[in-house]
């Protein structure tokens, strides 16, 4: 019996449901496109899923490269990834890896325009020749049900990391490390090679009430103290070895083919990771039986990843190849759809086989940088786009763009661009040169709480802009008119946005301390019909916020409850002859971006937002109010 073939149609096919693919599919679906998300695993999230368990970091950096500064440098990503982080933070205080999977799954299921095909691998494409090799359909297989799908779409977006769809379509790609001469990069090698960042298997462990033995399998690697001198003991006193959350530096396989040799790499990584655990539990060779050099006697393995976390494979060649200088100079791109800011984070491809080399060398970037849509459109396949770790970037630039919150904002940018392009029947290779479309895409992204560097092309307009705006009180610099600036964060200071592309200021309305309830009010000379209201609240974007299995990193966050800056309870009211009437009431909010439809026929000359309670602070903060 052969597999049954199902013919499916959509406007946008997204392949790969990782950090990039999920926001990409959600953004496209929310913009009205019919989307299919085809994902080869049983859970969403890719390297952030319970199958791998990496924590999501992004432009705000960490440790020595942290960009956060309260009310000044708020670099954490907004939009869909912020929605995911806030949902996870409040609903997953226990830091369960599976709860994260569930939240992504729920979000995809909740989207009426999105069809989710799980356990379904995209294995091929059908091409049609026109101006270039257009992809007409993709072929996908679901082994568990013996089904095959032929999926026709206008636009195909490869978010698979390995880039199988693009590869099958014949799109040009890069692998390995480029030479300095190729893109003029000082951090590149003198001569190009085929090596990449290696892969890693993570583990988690738990402390028990009594000593827990660990008997290693006979095939694990033996590590001496010298082997791990630059790893386990990397910065003595700075970060003592902790046991709960594996070793990101247990890296191996970068000198092999991270696609074709993936099974070999998995086997060797198990040997490496469990060898390190054996070193922690039982000590380096020649350790006395009763010694416990790492204070790990009560610790036991809880979970072992069997899926190698893959850092790097194919990077496609797009209409623009993002380079070291683009990042270092924060080069402005008029077609920017996302931003990044993580340092350029290079690792030795040999990983643990290079014990004399640091496991990573991070090169700080002075400011946040633009990512243009042209780095997400194939140079040679007109209807192929990409997001995530297979975007068009050199090895050096990729070492920054690869972090997952950056992958997520690129995903949202690409999904939005694709949906608007599909709506106007514009081929992806023409998006960047279509000024009107580009302006619409950027405007849509800003409406959806994505951050784009630079002043808004079109600050908040419409009914809100025509009103006289007042507030019950304000703090210096935190006036009511800030809610119309089109800026929904402060990003200046040493490590924010380069000074010529940003303005200083609070960018939000802040009521006076200890003044709750507080109100912000819109008055018009004539009656206005208001159909919907969109609000952006403060969620403490100078802080870190991500699901991490590392206790030390989690302690830098406010985890397990809403962020204290966020407005919790509020009402939207309109003035009628007999006083203020509530047309929308919200309790227990913890999200940053909220949109409400108002009852049909809401007509008024005065509207106010009454904030009765926050999740912690003693005053109200609102970044933006849009009225449509
Ligand atoms: C060990 C390790 C440590 C890291 N540390 C961090 C960190 O601390 N913080 C951070 O933010 N980033 C970190 N990174 C980088 C980050 O995890 C990746 O760059 C990121 O996951 C890329 O996201 P993505 O969505 O592009 O790809 P992925 O996360 O790889 O997701 C792609 C998904 O597509 C699926 N897929 C593949 N092929 C197909 C196909 N043919 N059909 C359908 N689906 C397919 C895959 O199963 C996968 O789930 C680390 C990476 C590794 C490996």
- The answer to whether 372 and 318 are in contact (CB under 8 A) is no
pLDDT at 589: 98
Nearest-atom number in ligand 1 for the CA of 160 is 34
Q: Which domains does the chain have, with CATH numbers?
A: 4-176+316-447 (3.50.50.60), 198-310 (no CATH), 462-627 (2.60.120.260)
Averaged over successive runs of 10 residues, the pLDDT of the chain (628 residues) comes to: 86 98 98 98 98 97 91 98 98 98 98 98 92 91 96 98 98 98 98 98 96 97 92 58 89 97 98 96 88 92 97 98 98 98 97 96 96 98 97 98 98 99 98 97 97 87 94 98 95 94 96 97 97 98 96 94 98 96 98 97 97 98 97
Report CA(591)–ligand 1 centroid distance (Å): 26
* Spatial distance between the Cα atoms of 359 and 515, rounded to a whole number of angstroms: 51
The helix/strand/coil state of 600 is: coil
Q: Which residue has the tokens 């009431």?
A: 585
| Angle of helix 404-423 versus helix 21-30 axis, rounded to 10 | 30
Taking the model in full, what pTM does it have? 0.97
Report CA(47)–ligand 1 centroid distance (Å): 4
The helix/strand/coil state of 506 is: coil
pLDDT at 233: 59
- Can you read off the two tokens belonging to residue 541? 């974007």
- For 196, counting Cβ atoms within 10 Å of its Cβ (0-12 exposed, 13-18 middle, 19+ buried), the class is buried
Nearest-atom number in ligand 1 for the CA of 389 is 26
| CA distances to 143, 144, 285 from 2, in Å | 12, 14, 55
Report CA(17)–ligand 1 centroid distance (Å): 9
pLDDT at 64: 84
Rg (CA), the chain: 25
* Spatial distance between the Cα atoms of 221 and 232, rounded to a whole number of angstroms: 15
Kindly list the protein residues whose Cβ atom lies closer than 6 A to any atom of ligand 1: 15-21, 38-41, 46-47, 54-57, 121-122, 159-162, 164, 199-200, 248, 309-311, 388-389, 402-404, 407
Nearest-atom number in ligand 1 for the CA of 248 is 1
Q: Which residue has the tokens 């910065």?
A: 235
* Conformation bin of residue 146: beta by default, left when phi > 0, alpha when psi is -120 to 50: left
Report CA(422)–ligand 1 centroid distance (Å): 27
* Spatial distance between the Cα atoms of 496 and 149, rounded to a whole number of angstroms: 46
Q: What is the pairing mode between strands 518-529 and 468-471? A: antiparallel
Which residues lie across from 610 on neighbouring strands? Answer: 519, 571
Report CA(509)–ligand 1 centroid distance (Å): 38
- The answer to whether 312 and 429 are in contact (CB under 8 A) is no
* Spatial distance between the Cα atoms of 79 and 69, rounded to a whole number of angstroms: 20
């Amino acid at each position: 019996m052969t597999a049954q073939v199902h013919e499916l149609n959509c406007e946008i096919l997204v392949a790969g449901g990782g950090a990039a693919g999920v926001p990409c599919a959600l953004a496209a679906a929310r913009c009205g496109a019919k989307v299919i998300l085809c994902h080869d695993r049983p859970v969403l999230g890719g390297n952030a899923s319970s199958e791998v368990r990496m924590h999501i970091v992004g432009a705000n950096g960490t440790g020595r490269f942290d960009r956060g500064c309260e009310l000044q440098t708020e670099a954490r990503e907004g939009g869909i990834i912020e929605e995911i982080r806030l949902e996870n933070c409040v609903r997953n205080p226990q830091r369960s890896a599976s709860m994260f999977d569930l939240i992504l799954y729920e979000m995809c299921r909740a989207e009426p325009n999105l069809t989710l095909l799980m356990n379904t691998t995209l294995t091929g494409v059908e091409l049609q020749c026109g101006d270039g090799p257009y992809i007409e359909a993709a072929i996908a297989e679901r082994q568990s049900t013996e089904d095959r799908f032929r999926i026709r779409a206008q636009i195909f977006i490869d978010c698979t990391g390995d880039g199988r769809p693009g590869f099958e379509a014949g799109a040009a790609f890069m692998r390995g490390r480029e030479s300095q001469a190729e893109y003029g990069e000082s951090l590149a090698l003198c001569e190009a090679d085929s090596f990449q960042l290696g892969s890693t298997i993570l583990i988690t462990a738990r402390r028990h009430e009594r000593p827990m033995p660990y008997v290693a399998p006979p095939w694990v690697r033996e590590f001496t103290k010298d082997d791990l001198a630059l790893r386990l003991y990397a910065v003595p006193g700075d970060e003592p070895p902790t046991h709960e959350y594996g070793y990101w530096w247990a890296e191996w396989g970068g000198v092999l083919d991270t696609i074709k040799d993936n099974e070999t790499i998995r086997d060797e990584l198990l040997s490496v990771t469990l060898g390190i655990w054996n070193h922690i539990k039982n000590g380096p060779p020649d350790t006395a039986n009763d010694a416990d050099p790492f204070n790990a006697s009560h610790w036991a393995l809880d979970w072992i990843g069997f899926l190698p976390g893959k850092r790097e494979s194919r990077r496609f060649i797009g209409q623009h190849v993002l380079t070291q200088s683009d990042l270092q100079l924060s080069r402005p791109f008029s077609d920017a759809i996302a931003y990044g800011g993580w340092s350029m984070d290079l690792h030795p491809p040999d990983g643990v086989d290079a014990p004399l080399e640091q496991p990573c060398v991070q090169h700080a970037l002075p400011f946040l940088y633009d990512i243009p849509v042209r780095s997400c459109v194939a140079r040679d396949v007109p209807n192929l786009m990409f997001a995530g770790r297979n975007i068009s970037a050199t090895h050096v630039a990729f070492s920054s763009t690869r972090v997952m919150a950056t992958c997520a904002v690129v995903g949202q940018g690409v999904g939005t661009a694709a949906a608007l392009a599909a709506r106007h029947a514009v081929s992806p290779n023409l998006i960047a040169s279509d000024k009107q479309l580009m302006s619409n895409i950027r405007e849509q992204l800003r409406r959806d709480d994505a951050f784009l560097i630079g002043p808004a092309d079109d600050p908040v307009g419409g009914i809100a802009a025509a009103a006289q705006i007042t507030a019950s009180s304000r703090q210096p610099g935190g006036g009511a008119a800030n809610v119309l600036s089109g800026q929904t964060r402060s990003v200046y200071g040493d490590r924010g946005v380069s000074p010529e592309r940003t303005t200083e200021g609070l960018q939000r309305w802040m009521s006076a301390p200890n003044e709750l309830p507080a109100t912000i009010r819109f008055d018009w000379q004539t009656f206005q019909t208001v159909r919907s209201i969109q609000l952006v609240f403060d969620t403490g974007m100078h802080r870190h916020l991500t699901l991490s299995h590392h206790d030390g990193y989690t302690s830098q966050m406010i985890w397990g409850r809403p962020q204290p800056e966020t407005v919790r309870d509020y009402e939207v009211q309109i003035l009628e002859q007999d006083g203020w009437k509530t047309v929308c009431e919200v309790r227990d909010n913890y999200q940053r971006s909220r949109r409400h439809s108002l009852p049909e026929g809401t007509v008024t000359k005065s509207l106010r937002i009454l904030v009765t309670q926050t999740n912690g602070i003693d005053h109200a903060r609102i970044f933006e109010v849009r009225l449509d």
